[in-house]
């Protein structure tokens, strides 16, 4: 189902709130996480399903206005803001935890990660769920089986964009939509980008989901202050 449609976000919401759904994945939220930002939040399903303490300041941003409206109908405990991940409308050091579940693959990865680093407080933590090459390959095969030439061409471009990101750290806009980015990610390139920005303790879990975690380097924060 196309990302950016209300039906898609309703499906994602139903997955997040169903503990028995194998597609469900939530971040590990602890008592030290008092200010949480979800980048590409959709309807805020990840924040809502995490059953956050009422004292937690939770913010979700997304470009899809319909998803944000739907999210506001589901909860009053999340502040929803329409914005893009590459230009977060928050001051430096605003959050203890930034999460981004399968939204980073639709952004300019390097710019978005720089923004996430900027808004994290000292020793703030990052939680990402990414797209692997195998996922893009499956989508390409589905497009070919359906004899869908437009979708096939687009998926071939995504395949090449992910390869460019992995090999050279470069991404390109979709020529027919200058604001659209999409790519798949690798653990090696993602770790390299995170370390170059100033993250530390980068961890990768390639189980049922492609999860990357990291922490803002406190030594860099003290040197820059």
Residue-wise pLDDT for 43-84, tens only, equals 999 999 999 988 999 999 999 999 999 999 999 999 999 999
Nearest one of 92, 91, 97, 90 to 124, comparing CA atoms: 97
83-109 pLDDT per residue, tens: 999 999 999 999 999 999 999 999 999
The whole-number pLDDT of residue 1 equals 38
The number of angstroms, rounded, from the C-alpha of 145 to the middle of its chain's C-alpha atoms is: 29
Q: What percent of the chain has pLDDT over 70?
A: 95
* Sheet strand arrangement including 120-130: 78-82, 57-62, 35-39, 95-101, 120-130, 210-216, 199-206
pLDDT at 221: 57
Domains with residue ranges and CATH for the chain: 6-132+185-224 (3.40.50.150), 133-183 (no CATH)
């Amino acid at each position: 189902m196309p990302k950016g449609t209300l039906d898609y976000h309703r499906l994602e919401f139903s997955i997040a709130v169903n503990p028995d759904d194998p597609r469900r994945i939530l971040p590990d939220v602890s008592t030290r996480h008092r200010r949480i930002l979800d980048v590409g939040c959709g309807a805020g399903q990840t924040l809502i399903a995490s059953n956050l303490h009422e004292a937690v300041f939770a913010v979700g941003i997304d470009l899809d206005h319909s998803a944000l409206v739907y999210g506001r109908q589901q909860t009053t405990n999340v502040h929803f803001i329409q914005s893009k991940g590459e230009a977060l409308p928050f001051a430096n050091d605003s959050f203890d935890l930034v999460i981004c579940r399968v939204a980073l693959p639709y952004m300019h990865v390097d710019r978005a990660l720089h923004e996430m680093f900027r808004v994290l407080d000292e020793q703030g933590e990052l939680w990402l769920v990414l797209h692997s090459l195998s996922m893009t390959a499956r989508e390409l095969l589905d497009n070919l089986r359906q004899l869908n030439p437009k979708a096939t061409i687009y998926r071939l471009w995504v395949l090449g964009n992910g390869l460019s990101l992995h090999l050279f750290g470069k991404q390109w806009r979709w020529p027919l939509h200058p604001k659209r980015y999409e790519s798949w990610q690798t653990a090696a390139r993602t770790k390299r980008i995170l370390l170059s920005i100033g993250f530390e303790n980068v961890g990768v879990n390639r189980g049922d989901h492609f999860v990357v975690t990291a922490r803002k380097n406190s030594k860099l924060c003290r040197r820059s202050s």
